[in-house]
Amino acid sequence: MYKTITFTTLELFEKIWETPVLKLAQEIGVSDVGLAKACRKASIPLPSRGYWAKQPSRRPARPKPPTETGSISFQVLDRASLPPRPEVPAKVKSVVTRLEVPQALVDPHPLVAKWLKQAQSAKTHEGHLMTAGKHVLRSHISAVQVDRSALIFDTLIKASEALGQCWTITADNETSIEIDGEKLKLLLKERITRITIPPPSPPPPKRGVPWTPDFLPRVAPQYEWVPTGELSLQLEADTEYGTRKNWADTKTKRLEARLAEVVDGLALIAISIKAMRTKREEETRQSLIREARRLERARHEESQRRLRHMLVKNSKSWQRAQELRAFIQATCEAHAHSPQHVQEQTALWVSWASAQADMLDPLRVNSTSVTSLTVTIDSWFTGYSMIRAEKDWWSE
């Protein structure tokens, strides 16, 4: 990942006085501050401020090179070891230079004809026509913009389908455009302003009538929706950052004059969707690889923890068995000169006690299990359990 670049003192001196520090630092792969610090440490004089801004004939004379010999090393990132950058999708050349929107709707597209029929009979709600759920082109406009919107829809759909793009209405009443297998959702929307209607002024008080508080319930605020006539085409798609997906009326250019940009933009959006999906698939793949490596490390650590646990457990059991055997031996020695019947009783006890010590001794019960390095870890183990945080001899 990193590599070391080494210069002799004389080589670095020549480079410093032939190339500005900032540019030389970029060529080497270090910061200009780090390069200047290394030069001062090696007693290499640096050009003064403004040296490179002057004409070559007016620059101060170059100082003598340092007399001390040595080498200066920099540890820099090895760019050859970095993964290649993802290919940038080629830009789509403009295939439509200009689209002329006719003055009148002639031979409308079937989708436009169906939408126009629904829009002309639709009711108005909060300033826009209620065409949602009618299985027609999705729009959010006022009744005044029906004719203009029909011309925009018709011109755009015909130009788009001439390039092989397919327009359909989905089961959930969305306007779908399929381009190279990618589907976009489109909405034609008008900016509608909501204005609050002020409540009526209270009646003037009558002369001679005492004032009484008003206990009438408060009336909810009333609103009025005013269409602005500003249309915009909005595309819904999961694209890369910076991909244009909205076109709208501006002060200098109407949406009709932007339809060529919209047609070209559809192809760009389709390419951006593919690139975004490829990027996310790669991120998912890398995430799965990292998770697999983490799980492998966690399972290895858990197996080592369990082996150490068994090692300590067997050691303690063996130590207890040894203590019992030492106690049994001491008991025999204590009863060595006892009467015959006491020794016989001791012998019976020794036989029983030795068997109990053998039950504790892991080397007597099953010696192969002591030296086994096989550990079975359950398939549900994820490595996030609190067992890893337990203290043992090796974590102290």
Helix (H, G, I), strand (E, B), or coil: what is residue 386?
helix
User: What's the confidence (pLDDT) of residue 187?
Assistant: 95
Asked whether residue 101 is assigned to any structural domain, the reply reads: no
Residues 276 and 143 in one domain: yes
Residues 125 and 228 in one domain: yes
User: What's the confidence (pLDDT) of residue 51?
Assistant: 87
Asked whether residue 259 is assigned to any structural domain, the reply reads: yes
Quote the distance between the C-alpha of residue 385 and its chain's center.
Answer: 26
Residues 231 and 315 in one domain: no
Asked whether residue 208 is assigned to any structural domain, the reply reads: no
Residues 304 and 276 in one domain: no
Residues 238 and 334 in one domain: no
Residues 126 and 267 in one domain: yes
Q: Which of 65, 81, 97 is the last residue of a domain?
A: 81
User: What's the confidence (pLDDT) of residue 96?
Assistant: 57
Residues 51 and 127 in one domain: no
Asked whether residue 90 is assigned to any structural domain, the reply reads: no
What domain range is 115 assigned to? Answer: 110-198+219-280
Number of folded domains that form the chain: 3
| The token pair that represents 307 in the structure block | 């082996």
User: What's the confidence (pLDDT) of residue 387?
Assistant: 55
Q: Which of 30, 64, 81 is the last residue of a domain?
A: 81
Of residues 148, 147, 120, 118, the one with CA closest to residue 133: 118
pLDDT < 50 stretches in the chain: 88, 90
Residues 310 and 390 in one domain: yes
Asked whether residue 292 is assigned to any structural domain, the reply reads: no
**Does pTM surpass 0.75?**
no
| The token pair that represents 354 in the structure block | 């030795």
- Rounded Cα distance, 36 and 11, in Å: 15
Residue 276 burial (C-beta neighbours within 10 Å; 0-12, 13-18, 19+): middle
Asked whether residue 285 is assigned to any structural domain, the reply reads: no
Asked if 275 and 89 count as a contact pair (C-beta separation under 8 A), the reply is yes
User: What's the confidence (pLDDT) of residue 386?
Assistant: 54
User: What's the confidence (pLDDT) of residue 81?
Assistant: 62
- The percent of residues in the chain predicted with pLDDT above 70, rounded, is 92
Residues 11 and 139 in one domain: no
User: What's the confidence (pLDDT) of residue 82?
Assistant: 56
Residues 31 and 127 in one domain: no
User: What's the confidence (pLDDT) of residue 1?
Assistant: 56
User: What's the confidence (pLDDT) of residue 254?
Assistant: 93
Residues 139 and 227 in one domain: yes
- Rounded Cα distance, 18 and 44, in Å: 13
Per-residue model confidence as pLDDT tens digits over 283-331: 999 999 999 999 999 889 889 989 999 999 999 999 999 999 999 999 9
Asked whether residue 317 is assigned to any structural domain, the reply reads: yes
Residues 130 and 256 in one domain: yes
- Rounded Cα distance, 314 and 369, in Å: 10
Helix (H, G, I), strand (E, B), or coil: what is residue 311?
helix
- Rounded Cα distance, 149 and 145, in Å: 6
Q: Which of 231, 248, 280 is the last residue of a domain?
A: 280
Residue 70 — left, alpha, or beta (φ > 0 → left; ψ -120 to 50 → alpha)? Answer: left
- Rounded Cα distance, 302 and 385, in Å: 10
Asked whether residue 286 is assigned to any structural domain, the reply reads: no
